[in-house]
Structure 1
Amino acid sequence: MNYQGAGFFPDEVITRILSRLPIKCLFRARAVCKVWRKLLSEDYFVRLYNEASVRDSMVVVEVSESLESVPTFICVDSSRGVSEFSLGFLNDRVKVRASCNGLLCCSSIPDKGVHYVCNPVTREFRLLPRRERPMNRFHPDGEATLVGLACDLCAQTFSVVLAGYHRTFGHRTDGTFICFVYDSESNKWRRIVSFQDDHFTHMNKNQVVFVNGALHWLTGSFSCILVLDLHYDIWRKMSLPEQLSCGSGNRLYLLELDGCLSIIQISEGWLNIWVLKDYEMENWQMVDRVSLRCIRGLVPGIFPISQTSEYLFLASHKQVLVYQRKSRVWKEMYSVKNGSTLPLWFSAHAFRSVILSCK
């Protein structure tokens, strides 16, 4: 084969083949020769591998049989099925609070206020420095109302956002909305004060999307999207599509789709996928309409977790489903075999397998 005539050299062909291997196979391939071992640390290869991984979204789910039991973490992949993975390398009992581009933000269960950012595929992690003060005096455990993780694969940096309402003693109003932002480059927290009048349900907190250098949350009233611009440390609001309204039997969820902000609308047996095509002009377009007739009995308790242009992951109380958008086929990927204390959607996060150091 004439690689040169096709625009490739043999080394380039091998590099592109390696960039498409599963992460475990790739790490085993390091033992083949010194050239391959060195390749995994080169910026060009890391960029190639992460670009391919971004198009292959997965779901990470924490499964616990009881509140006292050690949680089990599973990864659900549309092509490779279900696999277990451990966060034991953190040497702590943790729960996952946020996920972004292959990194997980975890909080310690026994030691409140302690947070980690880790890459479970490389088993690297960073223990974040403690914040200035608890997020809310009325919450002695120090848990934030909103937790966000922003991972920039190009810059190989990440930020962690912990936000919540701070109320002084003797006041029943929500008070001031205080946000702490951790920057991986400076290894420091910075404090942002704002006045927000929007509230959040659990799934609004869980489904935070990082695109265009900002973190996005749906408000509890589904009236708008709350945006934190990490470049300028500014909170602002973004409008939803005019055609959307949240009423009886109409639910909205915020996801990411191929680097764009996306809204999943579930209404009257249909699932509509909206994408923000023009971020600056806030131009929304509906790109797919899916019938939920095949899973009619699960519709009241399903939650979209992750999606690509080819498939959509959803979690119910005891199942993880995948919908193939081209073939329009539904498939059950995982089902709880025993009694779980919490529904799967309660601890399900979008996930990707990337090469990125947390140290």
Structure 2
Amino acid sequence: MVKDENDMDRGKRPGNFLGTWNSKLHLDLKGIIRENALPFLPAKSLVRFQCVCRDWKLQISTPFFAHNQSLSCHDVSGCIHQIPGGPPTFVSADPITCGVPDPLLRFLPEPVDIRSSSNGLLCCQGQAGDKPYYICNPVTQQWKKLPKPIADHGYQPAIVLIFEPSLLNFEADYKLVCAFPSADFGDAIEFEVYSSKEGSWKVSGEICFAAVHIDPRSGVYADGVVYWKGKSLLCFDVTKDRSQVRNSFMHGILGTIDGKLCVVSINSQTLTMNVLNNAYSNTMEMSSRTRMWKATEKVILDKGLLNGSSNQSILFARSNLLLIRSGGELFSYDWRIKELKAMGEASYHRTEMICLPYVNSFASL
């Protein structure tokens, strides 16, 4: 039997070919989004996206995906702030996409003071007894109680959490670095380091005798070095186990932008950012033109959006986000897209308040 010529050519018709091609494209696009886009999204969005389809639910719920997301998602998604003795509060830069199930951290065994944050993990300290340190992830509600430090870190420890997700480590590999007043050498400062690999604290043999006074809440980690600000800049190289004091320090708050140490200040709606250019400039000869800090950006913010308040301060500068307090309001400024956005009321003005950047991550402890 001879088939009709139209029947034989039907499979070659453009309409059928395009339909098949579009179907393949749709399948490929689903795979591309699942494999290459989802890991870059904040945790709250991913929890919601588990309802999209069975494949996405299975993908997002695997330990490998959680690990991949902690490697890929580094944008600051909000802040956690607290007045000493009060409960912590989470403020999201975008409540639809970023959030935590229990902002009060009630999953921890006792009330805590937040001390430091790094790539989705928080360092907290108990408010009673020996005041132990805890490391936790507010998204997964996983936590670990750390052993008691060897040294006395004081009432308000100058502690910095260092967590850099690694491709090869499924469990978080982190360190805590604390600068504390020496009990044996007057105004000197010593350092104690906790390593999750070792599971123990170690007091460094390094002692800083420069009699520098630092703000314990100012600690920032960048490129292997922890920095604290005061009238001078105290630096502790974690790898080399060495400290230095830099006398050239600019007015503003310490932060990190694109992994580089920076100082950001605000004056009359003008943001100024200076990036560390040469940490050794004060050891160079007098005739050298090399400067420690390099001005990289100056932005004039919309005075109307900031409510015209002259009482302004920067709470932190991390990754993509800058948090500004103007009068009784909180504002975020995104360096990448140059956007200023209101985040809500700031009904706190006490100088003891701590405010930390937060990344909405699935990082596993």
Q: Same fold (TM over 0.5)?
A: yes
Deviation, structure 1 residue 86: 2.6
**Match for residue 5 of structure 2?**
none
The aligned counterpart of 1:289 is 298
- Matched AA of 1:166: S
Instruction: Report the alpha carbon displacement of residue 130 of structure 1 after superposing the two structures with TM.
Output: 0.7
| Matched letter for residue 96 of structure 1 | I
| 1:206 match: secondary structure | coil
Counterpart of 1:323?
333
Change over 3 Å in CA distance of 1:227–1:22 after alignment to 2 = same
| Distance (Å, rounded) in 1 between the aligned partners of 2:358 and 2:274 | 21
Letter in 2 for 1:187: G
Alignment counterpart, residue 194 of structure 2, candidates 162, 169, 182: 182
Residues 261-303 of structure 1: per-residue CA shift (max 9 Å, x gap): 1111345663211223677888643222123672486444412
Letter in structure 2 aligned against 1:351: Y
Alpha-carbon distance in 2 for matches of 1:90, 1:230: 29
- The match for 2:221 among 192, 196, 210 is 210
How many angstroms does 1:129 deviate by?
Answer: 0.3
Query: CA–CA distance in 2 between the matches of 1:200 and 1:184?
Result: 29
The aligned residue for residue 150 of structure 1 is 162
Distance of 1:330 and 1:237 partners within structure 2: 35
Tell me the amino acid that sits aligned with residue 270 of structure 1.
T
- Select the structure of larger CA radius of gyration: 2
Distance 1:336 1:130, change over 3 A: same
- Aligned residue-pair number: 325
- Separation (CA, whole Å) in 1 of partners of 2:261 and 2:271: 16
| Cα distance change on mapping 1:317 and 1:182 into 2, 3 Å | farther
Secondary structure of 1:49's match?
helix
User: 1:79: Cα distance to partner?
Assistant: 7.0
TM-score, normalising length: structure 1: 0.75
**Kindly tell me: are residues 118 and 36 of structure 1, through their superposed partners in 2, closer, same or farther at Cα, counting changes over 3 Å?**
same
Which secondary structure state, in structure 2, belongs to the residue aligned with residue 19 of structure 1? helix
Q: Does 1:349 align with 2:360?
A: no
The residue type paired with residue 237 of structure 2 is D
User: Per the alignment, do residues 118 and 333 of structure 1 end up closer, same or farther by CA in structure 2, a change over 3 Å counting?
Assistant: same
Following superposition, the deviation at residue 10 of structure 1 comes to 5.0
Structure 1 CA distance for aligned equivalents of residues 273 and 176 of structure 2: 28
Residues 201-246 of structure 1: per-residue CA shift (max 9 Å, x gap): 5xx322322221221222x11x3x3222222222124574xxx75x
Structure 1: tracts of 5 or more residues without a match: 136-141, 246-250
Aligned twin of 1:248: none
Does the CA contact (< 8 Å) of 2:150 and 2:202 recur in 1?
Answer: no
Output the CA distance in 1 between the equivalents of 2:209 and 2:77.
32
Whether the aligned pair in 2 keeps the contact of 1:59 and 1:305 (CA below 8 Å) is: no
Shift of 1:192: 1.2
**Number of the residue aligned with 2:243:** 235
2:262 matched residue in structure 1? 262
Task: State yes or no: 1:17 paired with 2:25.
Answer: no
Structure 1 Cα separation of the partners of residues 49 and 238 of structure 2: 37
- Please give the alpha-carbon distance, in whole angstroms, between the structure 1 residues aligned to 2:59 and 2:302: 51
Aligned-pair CA distance for 1:105: 0.7
Inter-partner Cα distance in structure 2 for 1:79 and 1:319 = 17
Find 1:195's aligned residue among 202, 208, 211: 208
